[in-house]
Chains A and B, each alone.
Chain A
Amino acid sequence: MIEARSISKFISVVNENGLAGGLTAVLNVSISIPDGKIVSIIGPSGCGKSTFLEILAGLQAPTEGEIRIDGKLVLEPLPSTRKEMEDYKRRYRFISPLANGVFTDHPKHDIAMIFQDYAVFPWMTAINNIVFALRLRVAGIKRRERPTHKEMLEKASYYLAKVGLSGSEYKYPSQLSGGMRQRLALARALSVEPKIILMDEPFAAVDALSREKLQDDLLRLWAETKENATPIIIILITHDVQEAVYLSDEVVVFSPSPGSIRNRIPVDIERPRARTDPAIIEIQERIFAMLQYDINQENEYSI
């Protein structure tokens, strides 16, 4: 269960004339996502959806509002008064509020994240990329009960096989194709068995054929985790309307500058879905029309 309460984010930018200016990246976004759902966030580029996702992941602090994952606060909002600011500065003098700790590995929340690029570390082999993530996840467990290195290797190759990468265990990411790299990122995200997977345009850099295959793989793997005690939430950011409608239970349409929720469109169609299902096509058309309108009427939205 993810709850976001009136999230806003202001960032400072440089204007055309070289002066400092402010920009509202996200304005007053509230959303709650129940367990086991796939939610897509869609919108034109620069509408603050990536920023929102990073706030969800705890990689940026919101200016206002709060996000709770199963009732636990992700990051406290930035200070707004001078006094709060001083306290904040004192508290985080040497270590940023984003850090998990100086020496002890410990994830704050049960999240995995997949980026469009830079998803996996190029200096680790495929299997080491996964073992790296696994090792971080078990760091909180007592030393005796921790899985051994061998067990982790086994788990890593199990998940690699799951995404169809068996045989590439000892390859470096630069030796893999773009699609395979995203598969590896997916395997790494799944291997830590998180409650939430956040994806920032995961399939944007992949060619169309591999993309469809990856989407189907994602659905299959997600369906496999449905029997778990807490099913996985997937939040997906995308530019691709077809992808959004095909994959998700709900499509959230963002409007640009400032980024806020324009519309929420439920997709109540049984899985497995067909890409050419008329019901799906109809929803796609509606979202297309909405986005088209936003792009054409851009001036009316800006403040």
Chain B
Amino acid sequence: MDQYETRGIRRFLLEIGGFLKNSLGNFFSLEFLSVLIPLLLLWEFLPRLGVIPESLLPRLSTVAATFIDMLLHKSLLLHILYSMGRFFTAFAIAVGLAVPIGLVMGWNTKIRAFILPLWQLLSPIPPPAWVPMTIIVFGIGSNMHIFLMFIGIFYPVLFNTYQGIKDTDPRYLASARVFGASEFTLLRKVYFWHAFGSIIMSLKTGVSMGLVMLVIGEAYGGRMGIGYLLGQAKDYFLIPDMMVCMAIIGFIGWFLIEVLKYIEIKLALWKVGR
């Protein structure tokens, strides 16, 4: 109990510790290490022994060296910063729009009748199909990247939120209504929390869809970003560079999903005991 009473720096450090334990804990379990270490060894030694040609699969050590080289000489951090800046802008806009629209749509059948068919028509268009239109309308640049990622994130978040809200058990609503809850209170205190699991789930899907669109968008144009680096590596046939880019994108996705998981654990304490 007293862990939750601490404040300030100490509380912050405790939270960080909790987060690391939750996210990295899986990796440092004995079970997983017994799979991971042999895999890494294979990665290092198969090319080294010539089983797989080194031009196709560079060694682990080469990739690591490339990573450091890119960090020092190719301003890798700046590229990451650019990509993430765009990604978070798109994510904030998409979530800021999709969650309220999903809430309202799940809550009221009349509003649903007005706008749901629109999303049902638009959402089957695969996000990459938006690329040519977007390039013409927005030109090549940050706006285009942000819009493409927005398209990727918006629909999964919208539909999952809507579904979660719509499935709220009517008996919870009934008991709140009998006590006198207004519709707004119902949305805030009942619908939202009932749908909380599916909202977080939708954000996770949103993160992965957003990253897909990040790579696609940046590969099509731009001068900065991870996707751009990846495209460049392809043009110059630099396999270690490609691997570094892939690993970085994978790491970002993993990290963001872990953050969401941690938020879920922290906010949905009532589910922990189940």
Contacts and interface: CB of A to CB of B under 8 A. Distances in A.
B110 A94 contact: yes
Interface string A103-122: 11111100111110111011
A11 to B, nearest CB: 14
Contacts of A173: 270
Q: How large is the interface on B (under 10, 10 to 19, 20 to 34, 35 or more residues)?
A: 20 to 34
A208 B180 CA distance: 33
Contact of A101 (B108, B171, B183, B274): B183
Interface in A109-145: 111-115, 117-119, 121-124, 132-133, 136-137, 139
A123 B189 CA distance: 9
Nearest to A105: B182
A99 B180 contact: no
Given A123-B193, A132-B189, A102 B182 contact: yes
B273 A175 contact: yes
B269 interface: yes
Contacts of B223: none
Contacts of A198: 178
Nearest to A99: B183
A54 B170 CA distance: 12
Contacts of A172: 269-270, 273
Contact of A112 (B178, B189, B190, B194): B178
A115 B175 contact: yes
Contact of B178 (A102, A113, A124): A113
Contacts of A136: 176, 179-181, 185
Given A121-B190, A123-B196, A123-B268, A113 B175 contact: yes
B174 interface: yes
Contact of B182 (A58, A104, A115): A104
B177 A98 contact: yes
Given A121-B193, A174-B274, A100 B181 contact: yes
Contacts of A137: 179-180
Q: Secondary structure of the A side of the interface?
A: loop
A105 B181 CA distance: 5
B54 interface: no
A186 interface: no
Contact of A108 (B180, B189, B194, B196): B180
B152 to A, nearest CB: 30
A94 to B, nearest CB: 5
Given A137-B180, A174-B273, A174-B274, A118 B175 contact: yes
B32 interface: no
Contact of B111 (A59, A94, A192): A94
A-B pairs with lowest CB-CB distance, top 5: A107-B180, A123-B193, A118-B171, A172-B270, A113-B178
24 contacts: A57-B178, A58-B178, A59-B174, A59-B177, A94-B110, A100-B182, A101-B182, A101-B183, A102-B184, A103-B183, A105-B185, A112-B178, A121-B172, A122-B270, A133-B179, A136-B176, A136-B179, A136-B180, A136-B185, A137-B179, A139-B180, A172-B270, A172-B273, A175-B273
Interface of A: 54, 57-59, 93-95, 98-108, 111-115, 117-119, 121-124, 132-133, 136-137, 139, 172-175, 192, 198
Given A95-B183, A107-B178, A174-B270, 14 more contacts: A59-B177, A98-B177, A99-B183, A100-B177, A107-B180, A112-B179, A113-B175, A113-B178, A115-B171, A118-B172, A119-B175, A121-B189, A132-B189, A172-B269
